[in-house]
Amino acid sequence: MLAHQSSLHASDRALSRFHFRVVLAAVLVLAALSLLGARFYYLQVVQHDYYSTRAEDNRISVVPIVPNRGVIVDRSGIILARNYSAFTLEITPSNVEDLEATIDGLSQLVEIESKDKRRFRKLLQEGRSFESLPIRTRLTEEEVARFAANRYLFPGVEVKARLFRQYPLGSVASHAIGYINRINKRDLEKIAEQEQAANYKGTDHIGKTGLEQRYEFALHGETGYEQVEIDAGGRAIRSLSRTPPVQGSHLTLTLDVKLQEIAEKAFGDRRGALVAIEPSTGGILALVSSPTFDPNLFIDGIRTEDWDVLNTSRDRPMLNRALNGTYPPGSTFKPFMALAALETGRRTAGQSIWDPGYFNFGGHHFRDDKVGGHGMVDMYKSIVHSCDTYYYQLATDMGIDAIAGFMGQLGFGQRTGVDLDGESEGVLPSPEWKKRRFRRPEQQKWYAGETVSIGIGQGYNSYTPIQLAQATATIANNGVMFRPHLVKYLTDSRSGEKTLVEPEPLRRLPWKPQHIETIKNAMIGVNTQGTGARAFAGAGYTSGGKTGTSQVYSLKGSTYKESAVRKELRDHALFIAFAPAEAPQIALAVIVENGGFGAQSAAPIARMVIDYYLLGKLPKGAAEEDDVKED
């Protein structure tokens, strides 16, 4: 009984202990579930905005739609730069397990050169492994088909249609047009500076030189955007919204590409430059720098071999001589000197000097080309026969400050402001220039003797061909000066609206008409009875010109014999001209490096160019097609 009671007692105690534990468990459960509730509250209420954004970021991907780059055409609408669609083979590295094996596998199907692999690695190193990167561009139809049949073997690899830039005329006008190439770090900085970063998402090429560079932001257009809903695998499920891209503006040039082609051919394999300008507008008709290069080589990243050829050639084809070559103008400087004399009142047209064949200054003999001298020389004769003595005397009489002042107004020694980047300044010699240029005091001093050869376009004189062409055009246009430019107008792709690039003259120089008349007459004389007469014999139009020869190698007193001097040390041949003389439609400057006398090698080029421009006459032996192509 007692035992039974105690057992009952023990059982009661066990039961109450059990009930206590059940209640304890209930409390623990309540606490734990409350903890979960608190966690849900935290995530769904407190952090809701954050996680909503994260979910949207997950869901929505903004895909840029790259606009079509603007087309470049010449003044008559001939296409100089265009876009064409081609297939590229692209890899998204982050979706590929074994990149090397994938590339090896792909090269069994399509040809992949080492240049392609190099470019791909470079892009990869730029940390773009989440983007689709090209391993091969411009696939043939057959290659596309071959890949398509095997694509299941290559996850993360796709064929895409992309637009490519093409320069249909190849090397013609390449220095003016320039080229595009893949965007590099420096370009990215430039884009960021211009606050264009958002607009360049998805763009992978940018203009590197020429008009492609200068008009980059106009040509590029506005990038469109598509908001796409994507799934966890990154696949686009549907489009949410689309802002279409705005195509880049088209450029219509002042350039006459036929004229350009004829001018380039006229140079043959000689080095040099030619700038032809429409005097009444400043529009550049031809801008030649010889030799040229094929801009198509650059578009996908140039092959090392091609780059080496271009870069190591002694002829330096990449140099734009029209803008960056600086040359003493030689005797082509004389008409400008003569005009300066008239305008400053230092000479009248009829005043004559006696030329004994030399000019003596401070005991130093400045030699004239003609042994024994030209005898009595007035202004007309000094230009027609290119008398040096006349200008030695003139320069001395005028003094350097007056010369520099007048020439500066004509644009010598200053950037013309042509719509191409990287133009050189050249050197307009003056005492101030010397002070800036040299550091030692004895070098900084201007000596009167230095003024003498300035008069004949030698000495420190050093100008770019485009400066010389601009000055010639300004005389041809009676002192109304334009900024030389290549683009006539931009056409907005949406509205079709045309924006002229250069509608207004830069300045009107207040020259007396009779002074201009005197200079023009003398220049006409050059082409009819003077140093340019041979080259312009039988031309069906009137023209003005001036030959020039600029010294590369300083001859110490001895007579210059072309055959005796190494070719690289021969004089540069120059020629400036305008035509028709009554109402000039074209003004130009030509330089043939190491060409010898201007009359011999530069003037015939000018003749060919003007003949074509005014008469539509093709040079003898020149075929329409480009049959010889140098690569």
Contacting positions for other proteins (CB under 8 A): 7, 14, 17-19, 21-22, 25-26, 29-30, 32-33, 35-37, 39-41, 43-45, 47-48, 50-52, 54-56, 58-59, 229-233, 237
Query: CA 263 to CA 255: how far, in whole Å?
Result: 12
Shortest reach from residue 17's CB to other proteins, in Å = 6
CB 271 within 8 A of CB 593: yes
246-277 exposure pattern, b = at least 16 Cβ within 10 A, e = fewer: bbbbbbbbbbbbbbbbbbbbbbeebbbbbbbb
Shortest reach from residue 64's CB to other proteins, in Å = 21
Considering beta carbons, is residue 19 or 365 the nearer one to other proteins? 19
Considering beta carbons, is residue 20 or 84 the nearer one to other proteins? 20
Query: CA 23 to CA 29: how far, in whole Å?
Result: 10
Considering beta carbons, is residue 26 or 145 the nearer one to other proteins? 26
Considering beta carbons, is residue 45 or 628 the nearer one to other proteins? 45
> Where would I find the beta strands (DSSP E) of 200-341?
205-207, 224-230, 236-243, 250-253, 272-278, 283-290
Q: Measure CA 104 to chain center.
A: 38
What is the SS3 assignment for 376? strand
CB 332 within 8 A of CB 457: yes
Separation in Å, CA 48 to CA 52, 229, 256, 432: 6, 21, 65, 71
Determine the Cα angle at 185 with ends 89 and 169, to 5°. Answer: 60
Separation in Å, CA 362 to CA 368, 452, 483, 557: 17, 11, 41, 16
Considering beta carbons, is residue 34 or 150 the nearer one to other proteins? 34
Catalytic residue among 171, 249, 331, 386: 331
Considering beta carbons, is residue 8 or 149 the nearer one to other proteins? 8
Shortest reach from residue 224's CB to other proteins, in Å = 24
Tokens for 272?
């040099």
Considering beta carbons, is residue 17 or 567 the nearer one to other proteins? 17
Tokens for 205?
């090429």
Can 331 be counted among the known catalytic residues? yes
What is the SS3 assignment for 268? coil
Tokens for 132?
């689709």
CB 579 within 8 A of CB 541: yes
201, HSE (Cβ side, Cα atoms, 13 Å): 11
Shortest reach from residue 307's CB to other proteins, in Å = 39
Shortest reach from residue 6's CB to other proteins, in Å = 12
Q: How deeply is 625 buried, as exposed, middle or buried, from its count of CB atoms within 10 A (0-12, 13-18, 19+)?
A: exposed
Considering beta carbons, is residue 98 or 582 the nearer one to other proteins? 98
Shortest reach from residue 155's CB to other proteins, in Å = 17
Shortest reach from residue 37's CB to other proteins, in Å = 6
Tokens for 332?
């082509």
Shortest reach from residue 229's CB to other proteins, in Å = 7
Query: CA 402 to CA 339: how far, in whole Å?
Result: 12
Which residues have a catalytic role annotated?
331
